[in-house]
Amino acid sequence: MMLHIPGVLTAEELADLRSRLAAGEWVDGRGTAGAQSGSVKNNLQIAPDSPLGKELSTFVLRKLGTNPLYNSAVLPLRLVPPLFNRYDVGMNFGAHVDNALRPIPGTGHRIRTDVSSTLFISDLDEYDGGELVLHGPSEEKRVRLPAGDMIVYPTTALHTVTPVTRGSRWGSFFWAQSVIRSQEHRSILFDLDQSIMALTQSHGPKNAEVLRLTNVYHNLLRTWAEM
């Protein structure tokens, strides 16, 4: 399931984040890539172990924790702390697959990567190119979103970032291990949860059918969850 989540960051939060990133030190992005992806990666990143990288990563994590759409769609168990990248003119990321297992820095633990996310930080009028392209079995999906919006998609997808031809594209990216391993099951639970929320708004939380569907949701979650 691919999902566009609008307005993850406010205009004020974006302005502060951009000013912090502008003053930061950018390093070669290949430092966090695997063997295959490193051979086709050409971008810059804020060093993840730098004080700025850690501080901004914590900020994004806090925003995700309060975003109901993200939590409904992903049902995150653990996350790799968000990273921050930059594509200047001529930079791109060729077709690649994200690693199935990623370390959580400083913990000695690794997670299974189920869901990938890209949070767009640059405004659309600040750059050309830089599209996130998801390569499906029958079609390509091209993503280029306003600043503050985020796209989530299965980590199983082969994907590309096209060359930037003008300006600079900044973003944050990260991976989550979901409590629900199956993409199909996550989609079912997301649709059900969204319906429950809509019915709760129109009929109230004490409505018999709302309660029945809520019970079904939690029973499915209980059946499918891996903790």
Write out the binding residues: 96, 98, 159, 169
Ranges of beta strands (E only) in 9-168 are 26-28, 41-42, 44-46, 76-79, 83-87, 92-96, 101-104, 109-112, 115-120, 127-129, 132-135, 140-143, 150-154, 158-161, 164-167
C-alpha span between 95 and 141 (Å, rounded): 13
Nearest C-alpha neighbor of 44 from the set 14, 22, 17: 22
Q: Distance of CA 68 to CAs 5, 6, 73, 186, 190, Å?
A: 10, 12, 9, 15, 11
One-letter amino acid of 76: P
Closest CA to 190 of 217, 154, 222: 217
**Residue set of the binding site for 2-oxoglutarate:** 169
Report the binding-site residues for Fe cation.
Answer: 96, 98, 159
Q: Which helix (H) or strand (E) holds 174?
A: strand 169-178
- Contact status, residue 12 vs residue 18, Cβ threshold 8 Å: no
